[in-house]
């Protein structure tokens, strides 16, 4: 039986743990600013680990996975087996998914996805709506699937076999793109196609879509053109071969497609002389209530194309409106190429969205939604080395491909930008001051994957999955405080990896005024949403239902009727429920579902019994008011 939601969680918060509990044994407290204290320079606090000092280990990789370069797959966090304990789920270059318990660090789950590295980040979603989270994965061998905590495979599919490269580097997304209550899996691939599979593993009508070159970018899903339907946005390459759409030029595209696979008007946008490997972020930058597309480019150097004679077109971050036009103030010029995937959230506390990303000059950049630079900091050196401000110099800031996240890690009311840079995790405040740092293991485990920020048992955890040599690891640090607001707490915003901060990117959630239960529509039928589903979708804010309040003119009992597409929902209201709804004035109804009109065979009188059990003898006028509903004859 599902665990239904019976409390309202503050909109925008991603806290998934319970109330505060005593500090973890052996973990020192982190200083928290005291209200009213004299201003002082922000400390660079060394974050204590909740993982072992050397991290939680994977088994040793096979020989052919011993040299991996970089690991991009971000860890996911959720209660995988419904035991009340959050689990850390991460994918590795050996093709395995592993899960660790957050209460004791035990690695209890090990699933082999296939003979390909997992660079895509795992997704956590209740795919089959049984009240338990499932894992969605993809690897570079071309395997895509959904697996349950008991290792039962719900879906197993592959990219097309008619291309020598069939795998995936980008992270899939899961969303209900046709709003029928069922999930679809959306994925990019090396095989020159964008793919969408239905819940049963069959291809969604209109897909795959041929794009003509490889895609290293991850798809994002959200309504960018305001038509009430979600669109799919992703980057892909175009090397200028004869017959390709960009020929005789070369570079990359940012494309957008409707649910039926047709192109959105105004798309794709072409970037000359540079690929687009960055994964788009969908968020409303300019306040027009429509999602914009924020995206970097790739890391192809100019010398790959024409000996360095062309300008470095990768040194930009773009923001497009839903019609493909530029958001005012964008693009912005950066010091080096931007393979990083942007994170969007209120960094400086002005109530408006900002953008954070990393470039290959090793700098972490923060920009306002209007395209104004807020600050830059070196994210690739030792944050405790003098002058430990994180400010870049020409010799201390190595290039990075890492992606940031945004969350208030110490619950002080101000969000931080969190980034894993080489061997050091960092959290900067809205002014760009370095507040917290965490090391991995004696400088041996470089971080490229975006951090995941989550609340575990009332405490903020910052989780990083790393790999180096022939072994993978998971590290976790804590601020020993509750988690505050979290605008972009993991790669692609949420555990369904929608890449969008809009709730419509996963599925709409509905709630009526008198009940705490949340619903989603499945084939037009209202279906209660489990906590696991709501959590995995990023806690989207519920939409109001279309509900009316009625009563019979001769009875005091009130009822609520909610007009779902396939079937209406009738509820008898107690005084407390009526009060919770705000004492709405009821209208008189000619019929209430669950009533019974009847007469006895030996009497001329007609009666009605309402769902509450109240029996009333109808007058002729009352029977007429009920449209002369034919009575059931009883002995």
Q: What is the pLDDT of residues 215-229, one digit of tens each?
A: 999 999 999 998 888
Q: Where are the domains of the chain?
A: 510-544, 547-634
* CA dihedral over 57, 58, 59, 60, signed as positive or negative: negative
Phi and psi torsions of 50, nearest 5°:
-100, -20
Q: What is the pLDDT of residues 4-30, one digit of tens each?
A: 322 222 233 333 233 222 222 233 333
* CA dihedral over 500, 501, 506, 508, signed as positive or negative: negative
Phi and psi torsions of 233, nearest 5°:
-125, 135
Report pLDDT for 377: 92
> Does residue 428 contact residue 415 with C-beta atoms inside 8 Å?
no
**Residue 32 scores a pLDDT above 50:** no
More confident residue, 73 or 421: 73
Which of these, 104, 135, 140, 100, lies nearest to 120 by C-alpha position?
A: 140
Confidence of residue 447 (pLDDT cuts 50, 70, 90): confident
**Residue 310 scores a pLDDT above 60:** no
Report pLDDT for 391: 52
> Does residue 191 contact residue 163 with C-beta atoms inside 8 Å?
yes
Confidence of residue 495 (pLDDT cuts 50, 70, 90): very high
Phi and psi torsions of 372, nearest 5°:
-95, 130
Structure tokens at 478: 């804590």
Which of these, 400, 381, 399, lies nearest to 391 by C-alpha position?
A: 381
Q: Cα(377)–Cα(380) distance, rounded to whole angstroms? A: 9
**Of the listed ranges 15-19, 140-144, 270-274, 520-524, the one predicted with least confidence:** 15-19
**Residue 37 scores a pLDDT above 70:** no
Q: What is the pLDDT of residues 517-529, one digit of tens each?
A: 999 887 778 889 8
Per-residue pLDDT, averaged over 415-423, amounts to 91
Structure tokens at 413: 């009311």
- Across the chain, mean pLDDT equals 85
> Does residue 75 contact residue 474 with C-beta atoms inside 8 Å?
yes
Report pLDDT for 546: 94
Q: What is the pLDDT of residues 56-94, one digit of tens each?
A: 999 877 655 545 578 899 999 999 998 989 999 999 999
Neighbour tally for 236: CB within 10 Å: 25
For 218, 233, 252, 406, 588, the CA distances from 187, given in Å and listed in that order, are 7, 11, 18, 25, 51
Confidence of residue 36 (pLDDT cuts 50, 70, 90): very low
Confidence of residue 39 (pLDDT cuts 50, 70, 90): very low
Structure tokens at 54: 């050397």
Per-residue pLDDT, averaged over 132-161, amounts to 93
More confident residue, 459 or 381: 459
Contacts of 212 by beta carbon, 8 Å cutoff, 6+ apart: 192, 236, 238, 244, 245
Per-residue pLDDT, averaged over 254-263, amounts to 97
More confident residue, 282 or 302: 282
Give the chain's end-to-end CA distance (angstroms, integer).
40
Which of these, 120, 233, 112, 217, lies nearest to 175 by C-alpha position?
A: 233
Query: Strand, coil or helix: what is 505?
Result: helix
**Residue 393 scores a pLDDT above 60:** no
Q: Cα(353)–Cα(347) distance, rounded to whole angstroms? A: 7
Q: Cα(174)–Cα(219) distance, rounded to whole angstroms? A: 10
In sequence order, what DSSP letters do the residues of 390-427 get, joined into one string? ----TTT--------EEE-TT-SSS-EEEEEEBTEEEE
Burial label for 266, CB within 10 Å (0-12, 13-18, 19+), is middle
Question: pLDDT above 90 covers what percent of the chain?
Answer: 62
Q: Which element (helix H / strand E) includes 520?
A: strand 519-522
> Does residue 104 contact residue 119 with C-beta atoms inside 8 Å?
no
Report pLDDT for 381: 65
Query: Strand, coil or helix: what is 312?
Result: coil
More confident residue, 538 or 545: 545
Q: Cα(373)–Cα(380) distance, rounded to whole angstroms? A: 20
More confident residue, 624 or 29: 624
Which of these, 174, 78, 82, 76, lies nearest to 132 by C-alpha position?
A: 82
More confident residue, 390 or 603: 603
Structure tokens at 258: 């409707």
Q: Cα(164)–Cα(182) distance, rounded to whole angstroms? A: 32
Per-residue pLDDT, averaged over 163-190, amounts to 88
Query: Strand, coil or helix: what is 31?
Result: coil
In sequence order, what DSSP letters do the residues of 72-132 get, joined into one string? -PPPEEE-TTSSS--EEEEE-TTSEEEEEETTT--EEEEEE--SS---SPPEEE-TT-SSS
In our burial notation (b when 16+ CB lie closer than 10 A, e otherwise), range 506-523 reads bbebbbbebbeebbbbee
Per-residue pLDDT, averaged over 247-258, amounts to 92
> Does residue 371 contact residue 328 with C-beta atoms inside 8 Å?
yes
Which of these, 531, 523, 593, lies nearest to 564 by C-alpha position?
A: 523
Contacts of 229 by beta carbon, 8 Å cutoff, 6+ apart: 177, 179, 223, 258, 259
The arrangement of strands across the sheet holding 405-407 comes to: 45-46, 434-439, 424-428, 416-421, 405-407
Residue 381 forms beta bridges with which residues?
none
Query: Is the backbone of residue 608 left (phi > 0), alpha (psi -120 to 50) or beta?
Result: beta
Q: Cα(322)–Cα(303) distance, rounded to whole angstroms? A: 33
């Amino acid at each position: 039986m599902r665990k239904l939601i019976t409390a309202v969680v503050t909109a925008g918060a991603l806290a998934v743990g319970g109330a505060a509990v005593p500090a973890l044994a052996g973990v020192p407290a982190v200083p928290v600013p005291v209200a009213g204290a004299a201003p002082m320079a922000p400390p660079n606090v060394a974050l204590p680990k909740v993982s072992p000092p050397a991290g939680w280990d994977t088994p040793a990789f096979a020989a052919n996975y011993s040299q991996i370069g970089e690991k991009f797959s971000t860890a996911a966090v959720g209660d995988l087996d419904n035991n009340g304990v959050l689990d850390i789920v991460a994918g590795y270059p050996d093709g395995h998914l592993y899960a660790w318990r957050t209460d004791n660090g035990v690695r209890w789950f090990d699933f082999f996805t296939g003979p390909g590295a997992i660079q895509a980040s795992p997704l956590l979603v209740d795919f089959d709506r049984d009240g338990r989270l499932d894992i969605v994965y993809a690897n570079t061998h071309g395997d895509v699937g959904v697996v349950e905590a008991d290792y039962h495979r719900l879906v197993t599919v592959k990219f097309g076999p008619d291309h020598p490269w069939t795998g995936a580097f980008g992270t899939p997304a899961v969303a209900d793109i046709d709003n029928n209550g069922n999930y679809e899996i959306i994925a990019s691939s090396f095989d020159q196609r964008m793919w969408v599979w239905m819940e049963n593993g069959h291809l969604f009508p209109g897909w795959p879509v041929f794009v003509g070159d490889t895609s290293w970018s991850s798809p994002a899903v959200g309504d960018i053109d305001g038509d009430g339907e979600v669109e799919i946005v992703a980057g892909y390459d175009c090397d200028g071969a004869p017959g390709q759409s960009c020929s005789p030029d070369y570079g990359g595209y940012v494309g957008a497609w409707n649910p039926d696979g047709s192109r959105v008007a105004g798309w794709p946008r072409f970037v000359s002389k540079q690929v687009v490997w960055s994964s788009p972020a969908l968020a409303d930058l300019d306040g027009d209530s429509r999602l914009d597309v924020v995206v970097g480019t790739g890391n192809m150097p100019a010398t790959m194309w024409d000996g360095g004679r062309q300008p470095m077109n990768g040194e930009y971050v773009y923001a497009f409106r839903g019609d493909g036009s530029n958001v005012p103030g964008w693009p912005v010029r950066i010091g080096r190429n931007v393979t990083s995937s942007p994170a969007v959230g209120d960094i400086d506390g002005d109530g408006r969205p900002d953008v954070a990303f990393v470039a290959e000059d090793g700098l972490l950049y923060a920009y306002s939604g209007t395209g104004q630079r807020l600050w830059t900091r070196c994210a690739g050196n030792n944050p405790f080395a003098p002058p430990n401000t994180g400010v870049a110099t020409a010799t201390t800031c190595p290039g990075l491909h890492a992606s940031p996240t945004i969350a208030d890690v110490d619950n002080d009311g101000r969000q931080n930008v969190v980034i894993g840079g080489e061997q050091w995790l960092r959290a900067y405040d809205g002014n760009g001051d370095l507040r917290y740092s965490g090391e991995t293991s004696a400088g041996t485990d470089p971080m490229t994957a975006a951090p995941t920020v989550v609340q575990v048992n009332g405490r903020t955890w910052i989780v990083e999955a790393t790999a180096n040599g022939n072994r993978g690891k998971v590290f976790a640090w804590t601020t020993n405080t509750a988690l505050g607001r979290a605008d972009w707490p993991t790669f692609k915003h949420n555990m369904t990896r929608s890449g969008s901060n809009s709730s419509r990117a996963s599925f709409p959630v509905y709630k009526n005024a008198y009940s705490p239960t949340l619903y989603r529509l499945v084939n037009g039928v209202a279906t209660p949403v489990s906590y696991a589903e709501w959590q995995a979708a990023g806690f989207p804010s519920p939409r109001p239902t279309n509900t009316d309040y009625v009563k019979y003119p001769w009875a005091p009992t009130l009822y609520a009727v909610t007009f779902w597409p396939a079937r209406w929902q009738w509820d008898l209201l107690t005084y407390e429920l009526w009060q919770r709804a705000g004492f709405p004035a009821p209208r008189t109804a000619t019929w209430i579902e669950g009533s019974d009109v009847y007469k006895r065979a030996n009497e001329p009188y007609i009666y009605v019994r309402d769902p509450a059990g109240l029996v009333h003898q109808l007058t002729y006028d009352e029977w007429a008011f009920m449209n002369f509903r034919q009575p059931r004859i009883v002995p």
